[in-house]
Amino acid sequence: MRTGNNIRSIMVDKTGYLKWEEIEKVILAAKNNRDRVLLMTMAYTGRRISEILPITPRNILWDEESGIFTILKKHKLKRKELDGTITIIDRKPDEQVLPINTTLLSVLKKYIAINNIKEDERLFDITRKRVYQIVRKAGFDAGYKRVGRKWIHPHTFRHSFAIAYYKKTHDINRLSQLLKHADVNMTMTYSQFSQKDLREGLDDL
């Protein structure tokens, strides 16, 4: 369980996210269909790159009205040896189940069919570095060079998903389950809006 500074580190910068309409502009600015579907998957699931890149059609449980991702989340265990060195041990991945937004589900079905992606082939056969480049290029082209105090980056989509979901539902427990946080206190950081958001709320009164 993470505590103290680790909890606060999730989203220290309360301006480090985009509004949903801004996320949509970034998605539309992507240069090709693969990149747009990748950005949509990031935006509509709030998952990390390490969880999205391994996804294959086999990881999607299709249903007439809904779908589910089965995502393998890897864990690393740090062990301090007697001589002071640190050994990193790869633990067996956990299988996590994640419901899929119906809009994203429809897009993924078409994407897989058009590109004839096999059951065991990755949806996005690219590297983490390439994902960063895609996000940066689309963000720049959409007019969002910096988000908060940082350059736009893949985790911007996770933060933006979390903020958008919380604003719409005000359900911190469900959001915590969607983000797969070990501690709901980690998720509470997304309930702390920026001064700009607070001002918008007042203007709506």
Q: Mean of the pLDDT values across residues 51-65?
A: 82
HEC per residue, 64-120: CCCEEEEEEEEEEEEEECCCCCEEEEEEEEEEEEEEECHHHHHHHHHHHHHCCCCCC
Q: Mean of the pLDDT values across residues 28-40?
A: 97
Residue scoring higher pLDDT (203 or 101): 101
Torsion angle of the four alpha carbons 55, 58, 62, 66, in this order, in degrees rounded to the nearest 10 = -20
Residue scoring higher pLDDT (116 or 194): 116
Q: What is the pLDDT of residues 140-170, one digit of tens each?
A: 999 998 887 889 999 999 999 998 998 888 8
Residue scoring higher pLDDT (114 or 94): 114
Q: In which region does residue 52 sit, left (phi positive, over 0), alpha (psi from -120 to 50) or beta (all else)?
A: alpha
Q: Mean of the pLDDT values across residues 98-122?
A: 92
Would you state the pLDDT for residue 3?
41
Ordered domains of the chain (ranges, CATH):
9-199 (1.10.443.10)
What are the backbone angles phi and psi of residue 2, rounded to the nearest 5°?
-90, 140
Q: Mean of the pLDDT values across residues 46-55?
A: 90
